[in-house]
Amino acid sequence: MNNRVVFTGGPGSGKTSVIEYLRQIGYASVPEVGRKVIQAQVESQGTALPWLDKAAFRDEMVLEEIDNYENFGGSEITLYDRSIIDSYGYSKLERIPISDLLLAKCGELIYCRKVFIFPPWEEIYEYDAERKQDFIEAIATYHEMVSAYIKFGYDLIEVPKVSVKERALFIISKI
């Protein structure tokens, strides 16, 4: 079994909260690259930001996803807050041409075939410094992620809209 377990879905659907809960009980995890890129770009006054240059932002995320894949995971179960496939889905959502590197890496970087998808959940959705999308865009993102993961042959398991602990236990039961 491939031990790189991906959590995906639209923004603000609870992925990071569940990963944090699972991390606290002993699971290894890899943080979301989108937030990392945004924070680094803001700090350096760069322009690879989703509200300034979507293609450059995507390209930075791709490089970070490649780095995450090469440096994390292995024999133990490792939880990924998104994957390279999300960069493909983001490209489709934003109508950014798919680079040869992105397409190649979507085929080369293989994760566990069971991918946990978090559906849009308006009651828990929040804006923050890095998340500027509205809830309608969160729904659109969710649908693009479904399409992207199916395109690359992954099996999606929808995570129910229940408490963080119940979501974590659901995921543990499916790994």
pLDDT (tens digit per residue) in 60-119: 999 999 999 999 977 899 999 999 999 999 999 999 999 999 999 999 999 999 999 999
Give me the residues paired with residue 118 across strands: 9
- Flag whether pLDDT at 152 surpasses 60: yes
Which pTM was predicted?
A: 0.91
Candidate from 106-110, 122-126, 171-175 with smallest mean pLDDT = 122-126
> Long-range contacts: 147-154, Cβ < 8 Å, 24+?
147/89, 147/92, 148/85, 148/86, 148/88, 148/89, 148/92, 149/8, 149/85, 149/89, 149/115, 149/117, 151/88, 152/85, 152/88, 152/106, 152/107, 153/113, 154/6, 154/85, 154/111, 154/113, 154/114, 154/115
The runs of H, that is alpha helices, within the chain are 15-24, 33-44, 54-71, 84-94, 100-108, 135-151, 164-174
Pair 14, 118: CB distance under 8 Å: yes
* CATH architecture for segment(s) 4-174: 3-Layer(aba) Sandwich (3.40)
Domain extents in the chain: 4-174
At residue 138, the pLDDT reads 83
Cα distance between residue 155 and residue 136, in whole Å: 25
- The amino acid sitting at 51 is W
Coil vs helix vs strand at 33? helix
Nearest by Cα to 131 from 18, 49, 67, 60:
49
Task: Write out pLDDT tens, residues 125-139.
Answer: 565 555 456 778 888
The number of beta carbons lying within 10 Å of the beta carbon of residue 49 is 17
